[in-house]
Amino acid sequence: MCGIFGVFGVPDAAALTQLGLYSLQHRGQESAGIVAVDEARHARVSRAMGLVSEGFGDSEMEALRGPIAIGHTRYSTAGASAIENAQPILARVRRSHIALAHNGNLTNAVELRRDLEDGGAIFSSTMDSEAIVHRIARAHGATPEARVAEALQGVEGAYCLLIVLDDTVLVARDPHGWRPLVMGRLGDGWVFASETCALDIVGAVYEREVEPGEIIAVDAQGLRSIHALPPAPIHRCVFEHVYFARPDSAVFSGSVDRSRRALGRQLARECPAPGADIVFAVPDSSNSAALGFADESGTSYEHALIRNHYIGRTFIQPTQAVRVAKVKVKYNPVRELLEGKSVVMVDDSIVRGTTTRGLVSLVRAAGAREVHMRVSSAPIISPCYYGIDTPRREELIAAQMTHDELVRHLGVDSLGYLSIDGMLSTMPSGPDGYCHACFSGNYPTATPSEPELLRAGGAAGLPLGFA
C-alpha cells in the first residue's frame, strides 16, 4: 500500500506533487520521492527515506523543474525498507527515460523477475515494481499507451501506476480495481492521485475514477484512454474503507467518513454493549466508526484517548519492534473520563494485537471499571497478497486464537467483531465487488506460489529481509 500522485501540464508540477504527497502521507511513511520532467524532456529524481517533510529541501525542489511530475510515498509490502527501493523508479533506456510509481502488489512478481533475469535483465532493487519497468523497456508498441499495455499483459495482482515516458504521462489500473485511483482537472492540466483528498489540497477539480483495466495517456495532444487489458471481476479492497483511506476522501466513488459511520452503526446493532457509560475511538482511523456506534446505541461519545500526531501509523511500520515502541508514546488516556466507567473502545481492526493489548492496559490503568472492545471489521484471519502488509498467517492474532483466548490475551471484559456480511452491507456501492480475502480466506485470484519470496520482492537467491 502506497500513495501516488502525478501532474501533467501545470507549471511547478513538482511543488504541487509535494503538496499531494503530504495528503497521502498516511498511505506510506518509509520513503518518499518525486520525478520531474522539464520542457527539454530532462528527467530528474529526488528520493529519501522518511516522511515527505524530511526528504525535500529547497535545493532538491529547485532542481525538480517542469510541467510534469510524479510522486510516491512508500509502505513496503514487497522488498525491504531501504533507499534502493524508494520510488518513483527512474531508468534511462535508449536515449529515453521511464519513470514509474506503483501502488499495490504483483502476485506473480517472483515469476516475472525470474523470466526477466533469465533474459539478461539486471535489477537494482528488490521491489516487485521494477519488473514492470523492464517490461516497458522491452515493449515495442507504436504508442506509449500501447507499450504499457504490452508490458502489463501477464502481470497479475494489484497495481495503480503512474508512468512517464519522455513527455507522456501514463496512468494504469489493474482490471480488478483493487486500489483507488482518481483524476482531476487543474486549469489546462491534469492531476492523478490515490485519493481525492490529494486533489483537494492542490485545488484540482475531481473528474472521475480511473476505471479498472483502463490505461490513460496524456501528452501535448491531449488525453487518450484505452482498455487493452483482459477484463476481470471487480475486487475493490474493503480495507480502504475500513482503515486505510483518509475519512475526507471519496474512495471507490463513496465517502470514507460515511461508510465508517455506517460500519459503527452496524457494529452497535450486531454487538451492543448495554450499560456502558461512554464510547470512545482508538484515534484517528476509528473516529467515524465510534461516532456511528455511539449514535446507534445512544451512548455518550467522548475523546478518551489522545493521540500524539507526531508518531506515524503503527500498523504500517516496517518492523514489529518499531510498532511496539511507538504504541507506548502514541496514545495517552484522559483519566477524568475513564475513571470508574464501563467503556466501549472502538477500533477499526485488530491485526497483530500489538496496539490493542497496550491500549487496554492504558485504559485500565486510567481507572476504567470495564473495557468492552468493539471492532468495526471482521476478524483478519488470512494474509493479504494485494498490498497490505499481512503476508504471514502466523502474524494474525485472530487466526491464532479462539475468541475466548483473544478476550483473555487482550485483557478486555468483552470483544465484539463486525460480521463479514455486516461489513460489506455498509459499503457505499453495495456489498458486491469487494475483496474480503483477509477476512474470509476466499481469494479472488490464484495466490502467490512463493509468498515469502514475494515479500522479499521476488529476488531469487536473496535471504529474507534483504536490505
CB 212 within 8 A of CB 177: yes
In the block, cell 529476488 appears at 459
Strands (E), 211-352: 215-219, 222-226, 236-237, 250-251, 254-255, 278-281, 300-301, 305-307, 331-333, 342-347
Question: Catalytic one among 2, 197, 384, 438?
Answer: 2
Establish whether 2 is a catalytic residue.
Answer: yes
Residue 2, C-alpha cell as written in the block: 502506497
Q: Which of 353, 366, 354, 368 is nearest to 415 (CA)?
A: 353
CA distances from 258 to 23, 91, 134 (A): 19, 42, 41
- Residue 60, burial from CB neighbour count under 10 angstroms (0-12, 13-18, 19+): middle
Residue 378, C-alpha cell as written in the block: 471482521
Strands (E), 194-271: 205-209, 215-219, 222-226, 236-237, 250-251, 254-255
Which strand (E) or helix (H) includes residue 403? helix 403-410
Task: Give the other-Cβ count within 10 Å of 324's Cβ.
Answer: 15
Active site residues: 2
